[in-house]
Copies of this chain bind each other. A is one copy, B any other.
Amino acid sequence: MLSLLLFAAAPLQAAPPPSPADPIEADWRAIPDDELLVMTLANGRQVVIRLAAGMAPQHVGNVRTLARAHWWDGESVYRVQENWVAQWGDATEKKPLPAGVTDRPAAEFEIAAFRPAVRLAKADSYSTASGITADGWPVASNGRQAWLTHCYGMVGVARDALPSTGSGAELFTPIGQSARRLDRNYTVVGRIVEGMPYLSALPRSDAAMGMYATAAERTPIVSVRLASDMPAAERPHFQYRRADNPRFAAAVARREHPEAPMVSLGGAAVCDVLPGVRRAP
């Protein structure tokens, strides 16, 4: 149909170029059940988050403890700021944290080392180098420190003014342009792997900071559970695409060097090459 040609993405070609998000059977890996957080909003809307377990262990530990304590049940998505973030947790900031949660964990804004499996060709405004790790995380570096990047759909830890004030109870995700200026300033704990539109398409608040002015505007959270703690029959299974192989490297290279007549500087932003994720078939 001609209508498929009127699009704003890459031109239609006989064989579409490989994309980093493509499903490639050989390269799918299971996301472990205890690295998957399932947030059920009102009306059955599920947002599924892959936890960056090895990269922010204290905060991910807190998130797991909060989930096991059912702490988010009855809380809400209380902030949706246009071209910035959606944020959720306890809008009142009064609910006591459960036992076992480190109240003021040391900030985990950075990760131990910069070890991408596929490295991007160009520096960007926020990092001298960036890439995707073997297990599919977007990372960046300035030559000294390394960190997970605050791309659209990544999940960060909201905090007060001081770095060690984010426990993991309040989480946010960028819903507009990728929020790279938050890199190294907020801990990243994961990536939304399904259900992002349930956050990105929420009504925005025009009140300060995008906080909903009234409780009625908030989207209720019914429950948040680790997949490993859900009954087997209800437990979702997800996979990520492995990045340490020539197929993914080729997909990234194709994004940096698109086929003519598309032109490019020869670079792509790390947030534009996130590997595919899917529900396990």
Contact = CB atoms under 8 A, between A and B. Distances in A.
Interface of A: 2-9, 11-13, 79, 82-85, 87, 89, 91-93, 120, 122-128, 142, 151-153, 156, 158-163, 170, 172, 175-182, 184-186, 196-197, 200-204, 208-209, 211, 255, 258, 261-265, 267-269, 271-272
Contacts of A262: 185
A199 B186 CA distance: 29
A181 B83 contact: no
B181 A125 contact: no
A160 B6 contact: yes
Copies in the complex: 2
Contact of A178 (B6, B175, B177, B261): B177
A7 B209 contact: yes
B265 A127 contact: yes
A264 B176 contact: no
19 contacts: A2-B93, A3-B92, A7-B158, A8-B84, A8-B156, A8-B186, A12-B161, A82-B197, A123-B123, A123-B125, A124-B125, A126-B267, A176-B177, A176-B200, A180-B269, A181-B264, A184-B263, A200-B201, A201-B201
